[in-house]
Chain A
């Protein structure tokens, strides 16, 4: 283990800003992609179902 304490861990030897600046934005990108994908998937299904119901009328 490299870290004496949690504050030591977050400080990253003085490079905390750069390390967490990288990891936080990467995490945000992945979360945004997953959320957009889930939303798009349910939107598509809803829209296709509505179109299908229209065609049946």
Chain B
């Protein structure tokens, strides 16, 4: 099998079309499983009562917000280095979902912070750097939208993504480097300080977020491929067939 063939937009368009239903259904089933564990199996928290159940979306959303950014930076770097068309399209397809998860992480964090800390928002290092991440996503999307020339836009957006990537380790290690109100990491390579069933609910929700991201990014990249390849014979044939 020639793996390089999948770097061709035409091949990838059809592959993505076949993969989308699997990831979409996977995301749905994992969400049902994760929420069932989160609300009906996991016990009440000793310190935080039921308010802790917000973490089943807060933590996966926060993980995705950082992870999607790194994947975008990866595709941007590949695109800039090798000038591969599909890499830039992947970067563009991921950005809106990354911004959405960043917003969700901030929003759910505020609704957890109010009952637990007594404040919707504090300017602590973790919260501030996550807010900067949201601004980076919005800035990158706006930059792409502002530049009509696709190639120039791709390059400028990817460059901004790469420069902004410095913020991701800052978010991750902020709870270590600074004295933050936000608690430290619960999941560490050395082990976790969390109840097993709570951890299970959180990990299942994290996988659900993963599957969801892949599904929507593939739908979006297919649209971008059609748009950019509209003058090719295969897109013309595809559109003609659907009438």
User: Which A residues form the contact surface with B (CB < 8 A)?
Assistant: 1-3, 9, 12-15, 18-19, 21-23, 25-26, 29-30, 33-34, 37, 40-41, 44-45, 48-49, 51-52
Q: Decide: B103 and A12 in contact? CB cutoff 8 A.
A: no
The interface residues of chain B, by DSSP majority, are classed as: helix
List the interface of chain B (C-beta within 8 A of A).
39-40, 42-44, 49-51, 53-54, 57-58, 61, 96-97, 100, 103-104, 107-108, 111-112, 114-115, 212, 216, 219-220, 222-223, 226-227, 230, 235-236, 239-240, 242-243
- Max chain B Cβ within 10 angstroms of own Cβ: one of A19, A30, A49: A19
Pick the contact of A18 from B61, B111, B230 — CB < 8 Å? B111
Q: A21-B111, A22-B57 are in contact. Are A44 and B223 (CB under 8 A)?
A: yes
- Minimum Cβ distance to chain B for residue A8 (Å): 10
- The number of A-B residue pairs with CB atoms under 8 Å apart is 85
A30 surroundings in chain B (CB, below 8 A): 100, 212
Partner of B235, one of A14, A23, A48: A48
Main secondary structure of the interface of A (DSSP, over half): helix
- A22 to B120, alpha carbons, bound, how many Å? 12
Q: Which residues of A lie under 8 Å from residue B103 when comparing CB positions? A: 29
Q: Which residue of A lies closest to B24 (CB)?
A: A34
Report how far A24 CA is from B212 CA in the complex, Å: 17
A22 touches B96 (CB 8 A): no
Interchain CB contact under 8 A, A15 and B107: no
Residues of B within 8 A of A41 (CB): 219, 222-223
